[in-house]
Structure 1
Amino acid sequence: MQWPVVTGVDGSAESLAAAEWAAREAVRRELPLRLLHVRNWHPGRGEGESAPAARRALARQRLRQAEQRVRAGCPEVRVDTEQVEGPATQALVAAAGHAEVLALGSRGLSGVAGFLVGSVALGVVARAERPVVLVRAGEEAADEHYPADDGGPSTRSGLRDVVLGIDLADPSDEVIEFAFNEARLRDARLRVVHAWQEPGPLTLGPGEVGLTAGPRQADEWRGFLSAVLQPWHDKYADVRLLETLTEGRPSGVLVRAATGAGLLVVGHRLTDRPVGPRTGQVTHAAMHHVGCPVAVVPHW
């Protein structure tokens, strides 16, 4: 069964950018788009009888605004709208469970501070069992494409790379296949990035020793990466693939690698441990410092 592409709409610039991205994704996947607005309800506030009606009216207004935006950019997209009661995080996690992809907005910050990912988006990413894509405010259709020959923005040029950050110590089939499929849908190159570090006292496990170093260790990682990707390259034979190994801290390597990309794909391991929802260091850095849309794909 294929579900729709879903996006959360709250009237903000970042949610409208996410809605437009989600519309393009729905067209690529030949799926309908569902615009979802969560009406937050706060029990015990002593609201008057008119408050629920006012919330519904505001929700309709925001959904109409988002629908107009997505139809202007993607007139061929099939759209439906839905209102649900909050709290927002729980409602969006539930919606993600019946979505091929859930798109949410993230707000841009100035300078090198990166992007502000709100508590709702962070909570959804940490709990959702389906892929969640974070889209920055200001993201436009032309940002997915390479510049035109004159250097200006274009929606007719080729689509930028899909970048996959892969952890060869724990490669996930769900994450890898999502990235290959996205590259196929876009007819874009898939650039797979793995960061490795020479073993040292702080990186070796108990009883482990560093048997190789330098170029020889890089060659071993390269062979392992090719072996992991080969079944997927066979399945998606039409996807242009570039394998990249870089020595360095994974979070920094991945943020740099995503510069100029159309989409970054990272994984998030779900856990049953009662320690509260959280994302790993690399995924956290990607969500906060990568400028292109970031797809966080959960896996067990």
Structure 2
Amino acid sequence: MSPQQGPVPDPSWRHGQAALLPVPPRELIVGVAHDARSGAALEWAAAEAAARNVPLRIVHAFRLPTLTDAWAALSVPAQSAVALEAAQHVLHDSMCHALKVVPDLEVSTHPHNGSGIDALLTQGTTDALLVVGAGAQQTAWALLRGSTATRIAEKARTPLVAVTLAERPSPGSSQGRVVVGVSQVGSPLDALGFAFDAARRRSTGLTAVRAWSPLTPDLRRGKNAIAEREQREHLRRLLRPYEEAFPDVEVRHRVLPVGAVEALMNEAGGASLLVLGSRGHRGLLGGSSGHVRRALLSQVHTPVAIVPARRARGTRLGLVGSRNH
């Protein structure tokens, strides 16, 4: 029995390859924590904004005191002034940090009274790219595992990049490249376009990784070989429109008879970017794959882009992390 196959792009798409291109963001929005020196995300966002020739907006969330604080040593208005001044200080330091990375970058700042989730969701629009990263005590991966960035990604209508960089990341097979996972079941097409566009912008190659589960009994080795050929052919057909739309991007196809975590871990160490798809209210990478997401985000020390579906395509393709992957 052949593995379940998702639909592939119709060749008639060739007349409208522009539909495969991601909608370019008009600005980058990065959330910063109290420790502006832990600026991996800020540096990544500044460099990305400069490369895209778009402005950078720096957002910091803080909490104004409420009337329940009336018995505190300071009055509520005095506490409010202190809280706002502290937030402005964080934003000022962050802006200076960004301008050290890109001196002529257009930068604005915004203090937000509320949670970090609300800060990015209310500031972010459908034509923005959101960025979160590490603070002094909480890395981007901890934020994702703890649901802050997960909730942002599930609710956001725009891509989110989680950035934390290891000092010496263990190199994978696709070091310096863009890696995107591809699975067998429905999920957004937009992540593929985002990944190809990212590879072209970085003048690097793209590695498309497809994990699949072979039939286990040894007596089925022949069927496994047939199934693997089908997987490779399906991946080739799936990627063909993107390879035609991005002819200057060198593409590697990886079809591996292992789980999604192992497959992507082998490729993504030291990668320029790892791209995953999001299904919005159904959760990142879909259904029962929360363990896959958590495992990847806690172990792969490279920027991870989580790309939601933004428009109907008339066909559905999958990104790694669905079902048993």
1:140-191: per-residue Cα shift (whole Å, max 9, x none)?
A: 9xx8x9xxxxxxxxxxxxx910100112322521110010111111111111
Pairing of 1:170-181 with structure 2 (within 5 A): 170-181=186-197
For residue 270 of structure 1, report the CA deviation from its aligned partner. 1.3
Report the counterpart of residue 42 of structure 2 in structure 1: 19
Which residue of structure 2 lines up, in the alignment, with residue 96 of structure 1? 124
Q: 1:106-148: per-residue Cα shift (whole Å, max 9, x none)?
A: 4699xxxx942344223212322211111116679xx8x9xxx
Aligned ranges 1:204-223 → 2 under 5 Å = 213-223=223-233
Residue identity opposite 1:265 in structure 2: V
Confirm or deny: 8 A CA contact 1:255 1:285 kept in the other structure.
no
In 2, Cα distance between equivalents of 1:72 and 1:279:
40
Alignment correspondent of 2:19: none
Equivalent residue in structure 2 for 1:234, among 239, 244, 248: 244
> Take 1:237 and 1:108, find their aligned partners in 2: how far apart are those partners?
42
AA at the equivalent of 1:254? L
In structure 1, the residue corresponding to 2:34 is in which secondary structure?
coil
1:75 and 2:103 correspond = yes
State the 1:85 CA deviation: 1.6
Greater Cα offset, 236-245 or 81-90: 81-90
Q: Is the 8 A contact 1:134 1:293 kept in 2?
A: yes
| Letter matched to residue 9 of structure 1 | V
After superposition, what is the alpha-carbon deviation per residue over 1:27-85, rounded to whole angstroms, capped at 9, x for unaligned?
12111111111222464532521122112111111111111111111223221111222
Contact 2:63-2:114 within 8 A present in 1 as well: yes
Q: Which amino acid aligns with 2:48?
A: E
**Are positions 1:45 and 2:68 aligned together?**
yes
- 1:126 maps to which residue? 154
SS at match of 1:169: strand
TM-superposition CA deviations, 1:218-256 (whole Å, max 9, x none): 111111001111111111111111111111111221122
Aligned equivalent of 1:149: none
Maintained 8 Å contact 2:213/2:258: yes
Task: Tell me if the contact between 1:107 and 1:116 (Cα under 8 Å) persists in the aligned partners.
Answer: no
Q: Is the 8 A contact 2:35 2:136 kept in 1?
A: no
Paired residues of 1:32 and 1:77 also in contact (CA < 8 A): yes
- Assess if the C-alpha contact under 8 Å between 1:11 and 1:66 holds in 2: no
Query: Offset at 1:97?
Result: 2.8
| CA RMSD in angstroms, aligned pairs only | 3.2
- Name 2:214's counterpart in structure 1: 198
Partner of 2:185: 169
Secondary structure of 1:60's aligned partner: helix
Q: State the structure with bigger RCO (CA 8 A, min sep 6), 1 or 2.
A: 2
Say whether the 8 Å CA contact 1:180–1:232 is kept in structure 2.
Answer: yes
Which residue pairs with 1:87 in the alignment? 115
- Tell me how far apart the structure 2 counterparts of residues 15 and 264 of structure 1 sit (CA, whole Å): 21
Question: Residue 213 of structure 1 aligns to a residue in which SS?
Answer: helix
Q: Could you tell me which residue of structure 1 aligns to residue 10 of structure 2?
A: none
Amino acid of the structure 1 residue aligned with 2:41: A
Gaps of 5+ in 2: 1-23, 71-75, 311-325
| TM-aligned CA distance change 1:236 to 1:249, over 3 Å | same
